[in-house]
């Protein structure tokens, strides 16, 4: 029976060729091995360093804070910073402003001469001033004090000089009622001027108005005598 050899195959090396190759002797092709000088090695190192710098990932420089410590770059800080919760702005916290808005809303929502007068007086007693808005002074035309009515007419005349009336029908109706039922002649004349301004009609001359009033008085006297 044939015996199988189990040990590994041995490789034979020529010690002369091995020592000659290791000592820089001519290789199998018969050519001498090139030798590297110091300049060649430095050039190779510089070339390798340039390639590594070109292909390696860039790192953002770290700035120094006022205490001399390092400050992380914006990308690193954004990636590591915890999530920030943004809260809604707090409501208006000034108690005086909140009270002013409440009283103004009460005036705008009031209906009827007594309620409007009460809401307007309460607003003024709190130390507030009326805003230059049409809706506010349109409400004040229903005030029980004619002084407040005249002030409202004057303010509306200035406001309506630069903008159109928002509630023209309501405004003209209240002005006509003031012309008819106001006690002071100055209040009636101011209401008539504003109504003509709103309607776009020219203001009637004072002489014609006086003539109409005298004619009306004459008619009333005549009718009284006839009775």
Largest CA distance in the chain: 170
Half-sphere exposure of 203 (CA within 13 A, CB side): 10
Distance CA 145, CA 113 (A): 10
Instruction: Give the bridge partners for 63, in sequence order.
Output: 71
Rounded to two decimals, the pTM is 0.50
DSSP assignments along 197-221, one per residue: HHHTPPPPPHHHHHHHHHHHHHHHH
Distance CA 76, CA 65 (A): 16
Distance CA 62, CA 66 (A): 13
Q: Is the dihedral of CA 126, 129, 135, 141 positive or negative?
A: positive
Half-sphere exposure of 9 (CA within 13 A, CB side): 1
- How do the pLDDT tens digits run along the chain, 227 residues long? 555 555 555 555 555 555 545 454 555 555 555 566 777 788 788 877 877 777 666 665 555 555 555 555 555 555 555 556 655 555 556 888 999 999 999 999 999 999 999 999 999 999 999 999 999 999 999 999 999 999 999 999 999 998 999 999 999 999 999 999 999 999 999 999 999 999 876 555 444 444 444 444 432 333 333 33
pLDDT tens readout for residues 110-145: 999 999 999 999 999 999 999 999 999 999 999 999
């Amino acid at each position: 029976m044939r015996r199988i050899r189990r040990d590994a195959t041995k490789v034979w090396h020529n010690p002369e060729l091995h020592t000659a190759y290791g000592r820089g002797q001519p290789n199998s092709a018969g050519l001498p091995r090139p030798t590297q000088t110091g300049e060649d090695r430095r050039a190779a190192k510089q070339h390798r360093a340039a390639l590594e710098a070109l292909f390696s990932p860039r790192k953002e420089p770290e700035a120094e804070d006022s205490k001399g410590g390092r400050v992380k770059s914006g990308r690193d800080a954004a990636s590591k910073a915890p999530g920030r919760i943004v809260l809604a702005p707090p409501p208006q916290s000034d108690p005086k402003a909140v009270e002013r808005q409440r009283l103004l809303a009460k005036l705008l929502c009031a209906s009827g001469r007594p309620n409007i007068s009460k809401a307007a007086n309460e607003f003024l007693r709190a130390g507030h001033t009326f805003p230059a808005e049409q809706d506010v002074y349109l409400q004040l035309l229903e005030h029980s004090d004619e002084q407040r009515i005249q002030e409202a007419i004057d303010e509306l005349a200035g406001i309506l000089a630069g903008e159109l009336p928002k509630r023209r029908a309501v405004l003209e109706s209240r002005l006509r009622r003031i012309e008819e039922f106001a006690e002071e002649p100055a209040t009636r004349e101011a209401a008539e001027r504003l109504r003509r301004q709103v309607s776009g009609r020219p203001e009637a001359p004072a002489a014609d108005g006086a003539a109409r009033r005298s004619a009306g008085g004459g008619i009333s006297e005549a009718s009284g005598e006839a009775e």
